[in-house]
Structure 1
Amino acid sequence: MKVGRWRYDGRVQEGFIRTEGVVAFPEDLTMSQVIAGGVAAAREACERTDPQLIPWHLVTLVAPLEPASIRDFVAFEEHVEGVSAAVDGRSQVVPEWYEAPTFYFTNPHTVLGTGELMSPPVTERLDFELELAAVVGGVEGSEGTSLTPDEAEDHIFGYTVMNDWSARDLQSREMRVRLGPCKGKDFGTTLGPWIVTADELNRRCGPDGRMGLRAEVYVNGELVGQDLTSHMGWTFPELVAYASRNSVVRPGDVLGSGTVGNGGCLAELWGRRGVTDPPPLVQGDTVTMWIEGVGEITNVVGAARPAPPIRSARSAASV
């Protein structure tokens, strides 16, 4: 099954994605309620849905959900190796990366849908990041805390394509403070074009639990990067389990895989080549991402958004 959200007749509707168009959920059921009920609830809603279909030419897709939170992991070893060269001049994967998955939280309030204009901050190094993301659903009787990977698998409602937009010059300054990215990341994340329920993709998992889906990214129609999602260092159930460790995951949480390798972002290519080639994104560039079995998202880069000046800190010596 595929579920999503769209704009039709001046308002946002939610429901099922069909080949010929879209069908709204029955009885004013919401996306949040369907996700909280899990895949079984989605299947039951599908059976009760009025078959009245709205054709594609009458609707505009929006982000498939309003996330409760967004955790973004860094699960592809090749990406870590390439980007490290762009950051400190040498390719490496620190030993700590292998010990446990690492993630950061980003902004659930700046999510974009496919087709929406990306308005970046003022930056000289705008970049994309191609990712697969899992959407957490509800499991009756589970608090979603300190899950095992087997338990966590039941909490995955479905998957969507994710673009973790990045302003690399802002991110570079922030990372020197040794806390994590903030304004280099939180201005926009694209999710879409819809959510494919987990039961539809689980059959693509290999014996080790990884899904071997082909992932590709294009800039202005030119293929820039491609990889297989099976190259992740951890499976999605392992990522969900780690996110819940001494904490909690809730329906509507989104967990990104981190950027795929082999050109999943420009910074990786800059690090490997030693030059900013391909160049950073600029206004008017079109970025398209496709993941096998999931779908395709596209955004055009708009004009930069100016913001008020920043006051520098007062040093302790001056206080």
Structure 2
Amino acid sequence: MRWTAYESPMDATPRIGVLDGDQIAECPSARRLLDLLDADGSRLVAAADEAMSVGRRWRLTDLTLEAPIPVPPSIRDFMAFEEHLKPILAARGATIDPAWYEIPAFYFTNPAAVMGPYTDVRAAPGAAQLDYELELAAVIGRPGRNLTPEQGQESIAGYLLMCDWSARDLQRKERPVGLGPAKGKDWATSFGPFFVTADELPVAPGARTPDVTLTAAVNGRPYSEGRLRDIHWTFGQMISYASRGTEVRPGDIIGSGTVGTGCIADLSARFSQEQYPWLKPGDRVRLDGGPLGAIDCRLLDADPVVPLG
């Protein structure tokens, strides 16, 4: 199943529906995908059956799609691709810290900054080095604590395409403080347009993750291409670590981190800043996740910086 969220053209109320060809079949009995996530996926199946049999039908092109889970309980964004880290660190004369191979590191980002797939994104105030980050995210469907990697994989209800927008100059300024990214990251995260249930992106026998190709373009020029199968830490391992000593809950989002070549910081480290300049207001960014759909939006001018004193 591929679910999406939107405002009803009838009365502008939030609605959810299932993709059926070039139409969306609206779910009559639920308005939030978050309310359909449960331990065994039965609510999703029942709601999809209801939508397909009696739900109002809309043409996909007539709807303004929103993030499938507009305010998730939490968003943990990991850093799971060795192919992404190596060139960036090499450009600084550094190598990957051995701890990265021992634990799947993550940070918490801002659920209040979630954006829909086609919503234009206002740049971070005070930033000049703007960047996208091409990622895939898993959505927790089954709560759990101290999960094994196998249980972590089984807890996934589905997947989303994710763009972790970054302000590299703010991030660089914050880094020496040692608390991780804050204002360099919390101004926008785009998701969607489709929540693809885990059964549609299975892990093949002998594989470590679903095999999805992710691409990005800026102003129509191809920039990034990476494959989920190249990940170092699996989603099961990341969820296991996230659940260590605490609980993961339905609707929690687990970001993969950036795929290899999946951002301008990565590309400029491999090639040059002249070839891959930072984003600026007016630029159009398109990220494509195949069955997960595409994020396609423009950067807008930033709000003015409010002085602290």
TM-score w.r.t. structure 1 length? 0.90
Map residues 76-87 of structure 1 onto 2, 5 A cutoff.
76-85=81-90
1:298 maps to amino acid: D
Give SS of 1:227's match: strand
Map residues 4-15 of structure 1 onto 2, 5 A cutoff.
4-9=4-9, 10-15=12-17
Residue of structure 1 equivalent to 2:302: 304
Cα shift readout 1:119-174 (whole Å, capped 9, x = no counterpart): 01231100000000001113xxxx51000111112210100100000000000010
Residue of structure 1 equivalent to 2:138: 134
Map residues 2-81 of structure 1 onto 2, 5 A cutoff.
2-9=2-9, 10-28=12-30, 30-36=32-38, 38-49=40-51, 50-65=54-69, 66-81=71-86
| Percentage of pairs with the same residue | 38
In structure 1, how many angstroms separate the alpha carbons of the residues matched to 2:226 and 2:50? 39
Detail structure 1 runs of 4+ shifted over 6 Å in the superposition: none
Structure 2: gaps (5+ residues): none
In structure 1, how many angstroms separate the alpha carbons of the residues matched to 2:271 and 2:48? 49
1:175 maps to amino acid: R
Residue of structure 2 equivalent to 1:232: 231
In structure 2, how many angstroms separate the alpha carbons of the residues matched to 1:205 and 1:186? 35
Deviation at 1:20, TM superposition (A): 1.9
Structure 1: gaps (5+ residues): 312-319
CA contact (8 A) 1:15 1:22 kept: yes
CA contact (8 A) 2:6 2:14 kept: yes
1:61 maps to amino acid: L
In structure 1, how many angstroms separate the alpha carbons of the residues matched to 2:38 and 2:305? 37
**RMSD of aligned alpha carbons:** 1.6
CA contact (8 A) 2:15 2:31 kept: no
CA contact (8 A) 1:6 1:14 kept: yes
In structure 2, how many angstroms separate the alpha carbons of the residues matched to 1:23 and 1:247? 37
In structure 1, how many angstroms separate the alpha carbons of the residues matched to 2:5 and 2:290? 20
Map residues 128-277 of structure 1 onto 2, 5 A cutoff.
128-138=132-142, 143-202=143-202, 204-261=203-260, 263-273=261-271, 275=273, 277=275
Give SS of 2:291's match: coil
In structure 1, how many angstroms separate the alpha carbons of the residues matched to 2:61 and 2:230? 37
Deviation at 1:211, TM superposition (A): 1.9
Give SS of 2:247's match: coil
Give SS of 1:26's match: coil
TM-score w.r.t. structure 2 length? 0.93
Q: 1:116 aligns with which of 115, 119, 144?
A: 119
Change (3 A) 1:137 1:275: same
Residue of structure 2 equivalent to 1:315: none
Cα shift readout 1:77-127 (whole Å, capped 9, x = no counterpart): 0111122245xx225211111011000000000101111010012311000
CA contact (8 A) 2:28 2:55 kept: no
Shifted more, 53-62 versus 220-229: the winner is: 53-62
In structure 2, how many angstroms separate the alpha carbons of the residues matched to 1:6 and 1:293? 18
Shifted more, 44-53 versus 301-310: the winner is: 44-53
Residue of structure 2 equivalent to 1:106: 109
2:114 maps to amino acid: V
Cα shift readout 1:158-197 (whole Å, capped 9, x = no counterpart): 0010000000000001011111000000000000011000
Give SS of 1:207's match: coil
In structure 2, how many angstroms separate the alpha carbons of the residues matched to 1:98 and 1:38? 32
1:79 maps to amino acid: H
Cα shift readout 1:208-262 (whole Å, capped 9, x = no counterpart): 322221111111111101111111001111111111011110011001000000x
Residue of structure 1 equivalent to 2:292: 294
